[in-house]
Amino acid sequence: MRKASLDDLSSIMKVMRDTVEEMRSYNNTQWDENYPQESDFAADIEKEELYVAERNGALAGFICINRVEPNEYKTVPWSRECPALVIHRMAVDLQYRGQGMGSELVNYAEQLAKHLHIDYLKTDTYSLNTNAQKLFESCGYRWIGTMNFLGKEKPFKCCEKSLQ
């Protein structure tokens, strides 16, 4: 796992486009042609908040980790009020799915939190994104509530994990 660089952008965008196409196959519109944009990933890279995993020299997945909580998080009944790391834009290249890469990305976020002396993580996913929901559940995250976000028709499910 390493911090992403601007040289990774084309690979990141390919994974993102493939993920959007796969999401559409089960009517999940969490990501689309409007979000996320290449500029979102470039900003993540500039802030050193985007991390990539590689396999055999190829980008296998990515994850954005920071402390930025969308305003909509204020409507969610989080169990703790303390500093948290937040998992944002995350995807695994289709050819590396089912090999533990998603769990590896989430585990990296948890290890980064520990390194920063933070013991609480938050994230959200669209209610139709059952793959992400299964991943977070398998990693020990607890569903805490929902929020409306990004003008989407259905709510986003929010989850958390304490590392104490």
Inform me whether the pLDDT recorded for 149 exceeds 90: no
- pLDDT for 28: 87
**In the sheet where 156-162 sits, what is the strand order?**
2-3, 50-55, 58-66, 85-92, 120-126, 156-162, 142-147
Residue 55: both structure tokens together: 């396999």
Structural domains of the chain, ranges and CATH numbers in brackets: 2-162 (3.40.630.30)
- pLDDT for 34: 85
Q: What is the mean pLDDT of residues 14-36?
A: 91
Closest CA to 30 of 163, 162, 157: 157
Residues 62, 65, 70: CA angle, nearest 5 degrees: 120
Q: What is the mean pLDDT of residues 21-28?
A: 90
Specify the DSSP class assigned to residue 155: P
- pLDDT for 150: 75
Q: What percent of the chain has pLDDT over 90?
A: 89
Q: Mean pLDDT across the chain, nearest whole number?
A: 95
- Label residue 115 exposed, middle or buried (CB < 10 Å: 0-12, 13-18, 19+): exposed
